[in-house]
Copies of this chain bind each other. A is one copy, B any other.
Amino acid sequence: MSNAKENETLRLETFSDGVFAIATTLLAFQLEAPKHPEGEFRSGLLLHALAKQWPAYIAFFLSFATLYILWVNHHRLYNVIHRSDARFMFYNGLHLLLISMIPFTTSLLSNFINTDAMALAALVYMFLFACICGTLLLMWIHASTDFYLLKRPAADVKVKTVRLGLIISASAYGVAALLALLVPYVSLVIGLAIVIYLARLKYHRERVV
């Protein structure tokens, strides 16, 4: 029985990994190569055309880093649980729904960086990340309450640290979303800082990753 349940979590991970990997790769697929126009068009002009796309590179880089770190955290979470239940699968579905929307908000940000509507684009962008951290928090609270879905022995799982870490991340993204209305570039820098913070979140006392 316990063997069957292990296997169940495995397939949930495979499916989730698929969604993460595709969302990640689609980010770069939104980078569009300039077309060769009519008439003379030397390397200098191409360099200029490529440089003009800097908003797309920034949005791509920030989204890629965030998605990768969110995957790492999703992966760490599954590393310390050993089974799933209906509600956990529901939260996981909600999490993936939001994850799959990242290419959309990335494209939005990329289209409006440095325009008069950047404030709203950055707000939507950061708000999605806040919701994603929120669903990760829901998964964690459900899994760790009374060590409900955790692997045994669970004594080394840092239940409170992770809970606090996810609350901080979700709140920080929320603050970044609001700040986007005033100082959108600062909001992006906060986004990068949260990535570094989330990268260092430890789910287990002994495991290095």
Contact = CB atoms under 8 A, between A and B. Distances in A.
Given A8-B79, A43-B117, A104 B36 contact: no
A34 B107 CA distance: 9
A97 B64 contact: yes
A-side binding surface: helix, strand, loop or mixed?
A: helix
Interface in A4-60: 4-5, 7-8, 11-15, 17-29, 31-36, 40-43, 45-47, 50
* Copies of this subunit: 4
A68 B98 CA distance: 13
Interface of A: 1, 4-5, 7-8, 11-15, 17-29, 31-36, 40-43, 45-47, 50, 61, 64-65, 68, 71-72, 75, 78-79, 83-86, 89-90, 93, 96-97, 100-101, 103-105, 107-108, 110-112, 115-117, 119-121, 124, 181, 199-200, 206-209
